[in-house]
Amino acid sequence: MSEKNISNKFERLLDVKIPMSDGVNLSCDIYLPVKNKKYPTILMRTPYSKNIDLLINRALGLVNNGYVCVIQDSRGRWDSDGEYYPFIYEGLDGYTTQEWIGNQPWSNGEIAMSGSSYGGSVQWASAPYDSKYLKTIAPRVICCDFYKGLLYPGGAFQLHVALTWGMRNNARTAQNINYYNWQDLFMNLPLIKTDEISGRNLKFWKDWIEHPNYDEYWDKINVENQWSQITVPSLNMGGWYDLYSRDTFSNFNGLIKNAKTSDAKKSKLIVGPWPHALSISTITGDVDFGADSMIDLDQLELRWFNYWLKGVDDGILDEPPIKIFIMGINKWREENEWPLKRTDFQNWNLHSNGKANSMFGDGVISTDLPNQEPMDIFEYNPDNPVETIGGTTCCSPEIVPWGPYDQRPVESREDVLCYTSEELTNDLEVTGPIKLVLYASSDSVNTDWTGKLVDVFESGFAMNLCDGIIRASHRDSFTNPKPIIPGQVYKYEIDLGVTANVFKKGHRIRLEISSSNFPKFDRNPNTGNKFGFDSELKIATQKIYHDSNYQSHIILPIIK
């Protein structure tokens, strides 16, 4: 039964139950302007509790601007009935909620959705259902393909976020994860039992482990397959150091290129030098990006809602669709497309005399073509993996920090190959998607290859920009992986993500190559045994080739 609480500024209806198509009731708190009239509605759906200050304060701000705000607990969470299982119910539940709102006496039939992370995924999931009441969405920091965006980028399991997020959200309410020996927990094998070691029994964890390849399990929740069914525009928000940095661009491009309506193709995007929490501080990691790096995203979102729900034209659609923050010079810039049309994609080739091991080695990166150069060799020991230091991690910075950090501790290791440019004689802007093309062999039947792009300051500070991984078995297909033949050279294309950075005069460009980035990603045991059920570890001898036959290189999007 709903409780009514009226103040001088708003009316609040608590624990309003909305029936879903299967009879399960989901709980909403509804915030309304006091005046007795019809209003447009902002819907926020969350598994993290509708009764938190962040969402309530946002709701009150929207009410003060003439909107009803409905905050709903996801199925199986907090005050909502049903069984919680990530992602699979959100599309239909969201659509059913929109249809219910559109028929309420306080609704004028105009709905937008707001929310970040999981609260962004529920927006994308419901959009293809095409409720006549839904006019726009504003998802922050989320992917639409949960296989490559969240759980298995490059075919490797994204261990840190999967375990910490999964443990927090395994029950109806939030679970405390502060009192664990995380090093031991991340190192636990086999992976399929890690939830039990933590004291949980996570059905979705076991399902994730048992589906390491892209199959029907992932396909049925992949909204990237449904761009052409979406009729509403999207305001996309992301950060260069967010877990979903590359996905923010994929979502934007997917909609403007494939959406069903011209309105949906008027979508916009903003990306700053932020982690998953977005614009809450000028400081991310070890770097202060300055006062200009802060943006009032709620105010931007309000402008967006005012246009699409109220018809208030303050020029927001006249502005270029993309706004990105250029690190290095710490300035915002507006653009019209991604990648930028004026991009000069350059191959920067790997060179060495066979001793590129660590930042103290002889590895070089330049636009010069390689000659008959010796290979670089390192041993990858999964019992001593390369540590994750910052980067695009999520969602527990107290366990694994996010953002730009000095990479010299990992670059001092012999199992991290470093290829570093000469000092730059002029500023050099790198803005766009980053790809590493690697020719490599291993004495194992399966292994991993990692890459990281780094800006080396004159002081020696080595600032990570973006990184990626490829599981050797998934080099050609995420659906039908194949082992590698020990000793055979293969070509690997590794997606290192996206960035926008000016390497300043006197700085150096550095590329790191290794076989682990832990605990961001799980350790490949190098055995080729069944994923997730393996407790055996094998040391692998890895060889990186850069000569006239095997021109390993990184493709840098240079902006002149």
Active site residues per annotation: 117, 242, 276
Cα 74 from Cα 548, distance rounded (Å): 56
Cα 394 from Cα 397, distance rounded (Å): 7
What DSSP designation does 484 have? P
Give the position of tokens 């938190």: 52
What DSSP designation does 393 have? -
What DSSP designation does 480 have? S
By C-alpha distance, which of 136, 285, 117, 213 is closest to 530? 213
Q: Containing H/E element for 252?
A: helix 245-258
Cα 120 from Cα 345, distance rounded (Å): 32
Q: Determine the Cα angle at 429 with ends 424 and 431, to 5°.
A: 145
Cα 294 from Cα 219, distance rounded (Å): 37
Q: Please provide residue 317's backbone torsions phi and psi, each rounded to the nearest 5 degrees.
A: -80, -15
The answer to whether 111 and 60 have CB atoms below 8 angstroms apart is no
The answer to whether 275 and 401 have CB atoms below 8 angstroms apart is no
Task: Tokens for 401, please give them.
Answer: 């920090």
Task: Tokens for 250, please give them.
Answer: 């994929």
Bridge partners (DSSP) listed for residue 31: 12, 69
Cα 532 from Cα 444, distance rounded (Å): 18
* Euclidean distance between the first and the last CA atom of the chain, given in angstroms as a whole number: 62
Task: Tokens for 11, please give them.
Answer: 């009316």
Give the position of tokens 């001088």: 8
Cα 547 from Cα 428, distance rounded (Å): 26
Give the position of tokens 């080729």: 528
Cα 240 from Cα 428, distance rounded (Å): 18
For the chain, the C-alpha Rg in angstroms (whole number) is 24
Distance of CA 75 to the CA centre of its chain: 23
What DSSP designation does 150 have? I
Q: Containing H/E element for 427?
A: none
Print burial letters for 348-364: b (CB count within 10 Å at least 16), e (below 16).
Answer: bbbbbeeebbbbebebb
Task: Tokens for 418, please give them.
Answer: 């470093």
Cα 134 from Cα 257, distance rounded (Å): 20
Strand positions, DSSP E, 472-552 = 490-503, 508-514, 540-545
Give the position of tokens 């809602």: 305
